Amino acid sequence: MTNQQPKRILCIHDLAGVGRSSLCAILPALAVMGHQPLPLPTALLSTHTGGLGSPAVLNTDGYTPRALEHYHALGLKIDCIYTGYLSDEEQLALVRRAFELWPDALKVTDPVMGDGGKIYSGLSESLCRGMGQICALADLITPNLTEACYLLGRPMPRKLEREEALELAEELAGRYGQVVVTGLPMGQDLANAGARRGQPGFLVKRTRLGTSYPGTGDLFAAVLVGQLLRGGSLEEAAELAAGFVADCIAATPETADTRLGVWLEPRLGLLAPGREE
């Protein structure tokens, strides 16, 4: 395990300086797991868009397609393409192009579109529709409950029973291949439901802690991807990811400003190779 060659993961996400979301959470998590993340920032933002005012935003569409072609011309092997927040429709084409250039890469799409039943500010209806099309090209998708319901065109339930959670994952897997749905409210617990097409789903639960933080979906998906690339099963990877996120939440003081995300930095070492149990 420890001597495994690092896997190179092309991370197509935004870089938001403050708030421990997107690349600020993903890059350290993947690197400490022994992988080599290659960031392709879809936008630069001063903060995420969840309650810290109006961030300064720099669109990177003039850069990203050229960077992608450069990496391809270098003959870089990409083991995994992991996509997340896209800030405009041109970036849908960027993701399609990446999938085309490295057809053998594991394609993981976190369809970052919203939370708590609402679409994030600034994301258009057509961008969200396009995100659904990207999901159809991916090998694995990791929507939260809001995004899962959007993809299936269903209203968002306030809570789910075990059978409903499994059915949600199985239906998405039937459509998209493999899925882990995050943030399912189930009584005292917050659950993740996973499934592969044609196979019964599974649940990974953790006690619900009441507070929600930006970036935990990004952290969850990054650890999931990192563990899959270490050869873990979908269920093992979901267990590790759920455990790590719960641990980071527990390590964040109750008095901390939730908008700044979970205090992941002191916990990252727990993800190092050999320490994942």
State which residue, 146 or 227, has the beta carbon closest to ligand PXL: 146
State which residue, 49 or 192, has the beta carbon closest to ligand PXL: 49
Residues 109-138, one symbol each (x = binds ligand PXL by CB under 6 A, - = not), give ---x-------x------------------
Amino acid letter, residue 202: F
State which residue, 60 or 195, has the beta carbon closest to ligand PXL: 60
Full DSSP string of 229-252: HTT--HHHHHHHHHHHHHHHHHTS
Residues 212-271 that bind ligand PXL (CB under 6 A): 214-215, 217-218
Q: Minimum distance from CB of 88 to ligand PXL (Å)?
A: 12
In angstroms, the CA 215 to CA 237 distance is: 18
Rounded to 5°, angle at Cα 135 from 43 and 196: 135
Residues 46-85, one symbol each (x = binds ligand PXL by CB under 6 A, - = not), give --xxx----------------------------------x
Q: Minimum distance from CB of 16 to ligand PXL (Å)?
A: 5
- Considering only the C-alpha atoms of the chain, give the largest distance between any 2 of them, rounded to a whole number of Å: 51
Q: What residues contact residue 167 under an 8 Å CB cut-off, 6+ apart?
A: 201
In angstroms, the CA 69 to CA 44 distance is: 20
In angstroms, the CA 248 to CA 245 distance is: 5
Q: Which residues bind ligand PXL (CB under 6 A)?
A: 14, 16, 21-22, 45, 48-50, 85, 112, 120, 214-215, 217-218
